[in-house]
Amino acid sequence: MSWSALFTDRRWRWIAWSAVALLLLALPFIIEALLGRSWVRIIAVALLFVMLALGLNIVVGFAGLLDLGYIAFFAVGAYSYALLASPQFAVHWPFLVLLPLGAAIAAVFGVLLGAPTLRLRGDYLAIVTLGFGEIIRVFLNNLNRPVNITNGPQGITLIDPLQMGGFSLAHTHTFAGLTFAPVHNYYFVFLVCAVLSIVLSLRLENSRIGRAWIAIRDDELAASSMGINTRNLKLLAFAMGATFGGVAGGLFASFQGFISPESFHLIDSIMVLCMVVLGGMGNVAGVVLGAVLLTALPEALRYIGPLQQRWLGGVIVDPADLRMLLFGLALVLMMLLRPEGLWPARRRRVAPVHTGNADVG
């Protein structure tokens, strides 16, 4: 029996999925024992990126709209949370209000970006979305004068952690003999959110809406002649993608306790796009894999610096440069070896339609 059959076979799948669930629950403790607490933090961040990549996958992978400014929605979510749960305005709203609110605000921004760009495709859309991402960041950087809203480049500090009643994720708890440091607590919250995102993405993919997105991507004209309202569906893709980003942003702000415009650069948008493309555009499992790998890889490459010292007897290339160099090399190699992504979508690219040739049929 193959590995994948283990997850689909009726007798085995409960056992297989339970094993995966157990592994995910135990993972932070295993990782901590093996690699130290900093890696628990990395896998928690990886889960945030899973949410982000899945959100972008709706826009890019499902609807085929190339978005290079996706991190802006992450920023919008993060700032909506931070501004309403920090000493900045001395308001401290509960996260149960703020996370949905952040998602809604991000969705509005998604529509704001989508509406004027409906007629654009491909390269042109990419340029406009890139500009949008930068506009948001520049605004966040400069909205400290004349009225201080975002606190400019200094960012916002002392953001409230996720808390309810007296229970705060920022405290260390002991439960059943296990110590739950804040990073463990957040890992579990992020895990729940990431799993929800995965389930939502899978449901979307095989829904009427998901198929309509694929139809629009394959042939927009034919899609509209089927009675699909292409305008609304494209806007819906932007809004839904932005929602994922907005929630992830709010979680990020509460996790870090500090945010500044520095966290929302173009390179971050590109990084999320890399996760989607490299994992396998349009395939939920592939995108999750891409997000986890691309979060972990740059961190893992930090270990190369000391190795250089040991093997070559000195520092030849600056460790920081070497790390990004190897990261770039890894990206190039992966795309060369697996051009459709590590785990391509079932609906792989098919040969173009031959409209000009005679065909005996």
Partner 1 sequence: MLEVTQLEVAYGGIRAVKGIDLRVGAGEVVALIGANGAGKTTTLKALAGLLRPKGGRVTYKGADVTGKPAYHLVRHGLALVPEGRGMFQRLTVAENLAMGAYIRNDAAVVAADTERVCALFPRLAERRRQLAGTLSGGEQQMLAIARAMMARPQMLLLDEPSMGLAPLMVQKIFETVRMIAAEGVTMLLVEQNAKLALETSSRGYVMESGCIVLADDAKTLLSNPQVRHAYLGE
Residues that bind partner 1 (CB under 8 A): 208, 211-212, 214-215, 217-219, 221-229, 347-361
In the complex, what is the shortest distance from the CB of residue 120 to partner 1, in angstroms, rounded to a whole number?
17
What is d(CA 67, CA 239) in angstroms, rounded to the nearest whole number? 12
Q: Which is nearer to partner 1, 34 or 360 (CB)?
A: 360
In the complex, what is the shortest distance from the CB of residue 347 to partner 1, in angstroms, rounded to a whole number?
4
CB 126 within 8 A of CB 66: yes
What is d(CA 53, CA 73) in angstroms, rounded to the nearest whole number? 12
Tell me phi and psi for residue 259, to 5 degrees: -140, 150
In the complex, what is the shortest distance from the CB of residue 283 to partner 1, in angstroms, rounded to a whole number?
12
In the complex, what is the shortest distance from the CB of residue 353 to partner 1, in angstroms, rounded to a whole number?
6
What is d(CA 132, CA 65) in angstroms, rounded to the nearest whole number? 14
In the complex, what is the shortest distance from the CB of residue 61 to partner 1, in angstroms, rounded to a whole number?
11
Q: Which is nearer to partner 1, 19 or 222 (CB)?
A: 222
Contacts of 189 (CB under 8 A, 6+ apart): 162, 169, 251
CB 205 within 8 A of CB 61: no
In the complex, what is the shortest distance from the CB of residue 3 to partner 1, in angstroms, rounded to a whole number?
24
How many CA atoms lie less than 13 Å away from 30 in the CB half-sphere?
Answer: 7
Q: Which is nearer to partner 1, 1 or 358 (CB)?
A: 358
Nearest to 159 by CA among 244, 72, 74, 92: 92
Tell me phi and psi for residue 258, to 5 degrees: -150, 135
Q: Which is nearer to partner 1, 146 or 361 (CB)?
A: 361
In the complex, what is the shortest distance from the CB of residue 63 to partner 1, in angstroms, rounded to a whole number?
13
The angle subtended at Cα 51 by Cα 45 and Cα 56, nearest 5°, is 125
Q: Which is nearer to partner 1, 177 or 352 (CB)?
A: 352
Q: Which is nearer to partner 1, 1 or 351 (CB)?
A: 351
How many CA atoms lie less than 13 Å away from 343 in the CB half-sphere?
Answer: 15
Identity of residue 358: A
Q: Which is nearer to partner 1, 115 or 135 (CB)?
A: 115
Q: Which is nearer to partner 1, 237 or 271 (CB)?
A: 237
The angle subtended at Cα 353 by Cα 348 and Cα 358, nearest 5°, is 145
Tell me phi and psi for residue 219, to 5 degrees: -160, 100
Tell me phi and psi for residue 36, to 5 degrees: 100, 165
In the complex, what is the shortest distance from the CB of residue 210 to partner 1, in angstroms, rounded to a whole number?
10
In the complex, what is the shortest distance from the CB of residue 203 to partner 1, in angstroms, rounded to a whole number?
16
Q: Which is nearer to partner 1, 174 or 357 (CB)?
A: 357
Which residues are 164's β-sheet partners? 167
CB 13 within 8 A of CB 7: yes
